[in-house]
Structure 1
Amino acid sequence: MSTQVDYYELLECERTADAGTIKTSYRKLAMKYHPDKNAGCKDSESKFKAVSEAYDVLKDPQKRAAYDRFGHAAFQNGGGGGGAQDFGGFSDIFESVFGEFMGGGRGGRPQPRRGADLRYDMEVSLEEAFHGKQTEITIDVSAECDTCHGSGAKPGTQASTCRQCNGHGKVRAQQGFFVVERACPVCNGAGQVITDPCLDCRGEGRVEKTRTLSVTVPPGVDEGTRIRLSGEGEAGPRGSPAGDLYIFLHVRRHGLFEREGTTLFARAPISFTTAALGGSLSIPGLDGTTHEVRIPAGIQSGKQLRQRGAGMPVLQGRGQGDLVIQIEVETPTKLSTRQRELLELFRETETGDECPASQGFFAKLKAAVVG
């Protein structure tokens, strides 16, 4: 097929076609004429090269503009681009589009395989979450081999460049329409081969060890707070960087306080006489001090009293949250004879103004019944 055939005709597209239409048409034709689908057919191979040549020009906005204005003459006599692509050239085009996604260019070296991150779950009390603490943990982890210092090679020897991939760690293979890149099967992507491995780590550069680590729990931590210890995770193979250790904190339930962010909540039952006459309440704080809470006369169940700055400390910040006391008025269930007599006397003197909410409710109820 002559290279002078109009590129738009080759790709079966109108001259006004957008880039997406051109790309779709090219893919369809390339699959149709691909040599793997038409083994031994010279005409199909020629058509495949022609549509690849056309697409190489029309996919580039600058080349397409030049072609629209000057036709094939724009790429003749050193005009640049547009030459017929052979089968290897198509692989280069594919690599230029997908090379970064596939793991880098042909000349790149394999990136060190970083060790895996680890997770450790730690339980703390609410008091420890308030004050913070210094503690130690023991973990089993893959650490750098002391014998070969992480190289994986027997002391006195060293790894050599893999001949299969020339140290790149990756090999490419043509599979039909695509160029597939995968880890080198000889060096497993390392780019190097160890012919005389370390006897202690068997060439891995790491061995299982039990390690004791110091952990600082800062004041103000909450359920799910994560502490990161950089480089304390699994060691990477053959001297590669280690991963990180993430400590997830879990705060135990407290007998008195519930927590919401930096706010502490506590329920305080009081007698109905204290609710009516007023008084005070002593609440022991997590900081070791006792907080005196004033109870106003006539307080109702469900009322919340707030103590500013008596809550949890702000994590990695300044100040503290609040302590919120929710009042629950308790009705007495056991009365002495004298107490009962006094309450009966009190009931005889009631006018209804003492409990306006009750009086209002019964007034509404009576109106509803009459209506």
Structure 2
Amino acid sequence: MSTKDWLEKDYYKVLGVSKDAKPEEIKKAFRKIARENHPDANPGNAEALQRFKDASEAHQVLSDPGQRKEYDATRSRFGGFRFPPGGSGGGGGVDDLFRNAAGGASGADFSDLFGGLFNSTTRRAGTTRGPRRGSDVEGEVTIDFVEAVDGVTVPMQMVSDAACPVCHGTGARSGSVPHVCTKCQGSGMQTSTAGGVFAVSEPCTECRGRGLVVDDPCPECHGSGRGRSTRTMSVRIPAGVTDGQRIRLKGKGGAGENGGANGDLYVTVHVRPHPVFGRSGNNLTLQVPVTFAEASLGAEITVPTLNGQPVRLRLPAGTPSGRTLRVRGKGVSRGDGTVGDLLVTVDVVVPKDLSSDARAALESFVAKAPAGDPRAELFAKVRS
């Protein structure tokens, strides 16, 4: 705050306390005003907003022993006079005050009299709250494997604009209150200069556009000041979403203020595993057991698909266990409209129990089709 603000504003009157009020009285008075006039508890009430900002400014000065001492000394030195209101045409304001004090003399210099008290670099224009974008909302959903592949519409509970019943909209834990952001002075916006020419306004990085800073958040609303409602909205989860993916739904978040755009909804998706199918990118995976005879002689086998009729797959003769075969167009839909494949991995099943005839036949097979030692190459690599 500038010295001009201190001369014009009676912070003790704003809080309704005496000039010799103790710190506890000042704190108690501010808390009462903050609860009654908090912006989240009085949406669209410009008078309550201004009252809250004035009380926050007063509390910021009077709760600091050093600032309070300087404030009292400044007002005592100049008798607490107020500046005439500025305006066009009829005059008024600081320049007219100086001009009148000089008997109408034009160009009078009062820098020596006031010691640079009203240096223009210390003046701050009043802040006004313009359009403010709504807050982004985070959510989580858990869906089935098939729903993730095909896409699904799910209901989600949203945060309403109603004040949190625990903190009454302040966003602060009981016994504490938020304070006006010192970076944007409560406007929720900050201005930066690009290249020294263009002034760019954007949400304040300190308070994230709220204008207030909560040091000790409410455990119920986590500092948002908003209460939970039973209102639900339908959210479309696109086809092909993966486990842990975070999707953005533009304009589905918190409502904007003063004509500002709505925030976005960010949904983190959790996918339940499927008992049979797996996934590799846009391809589905499937492990299929086959017999030793089918793998050795070759066969035509039937395999299931995730959505649709089973398909027949040709198993070449001599297929080893672990080989992967591809069924095109039976996977996950891509964003461009194409579809991934079904990757079928062969698992050769070895029988646990053999009859005497089966054992004799297998021994005869080994004698007639000797394959040599399949591990010879493995040991040769180890030795080398």
Normalized against structure 2, the TM-score is what?
A: 0.48
Normalized against structure 1, the TM-score is what?
A: 0.49
Radius of gyration: which is bigger?
1
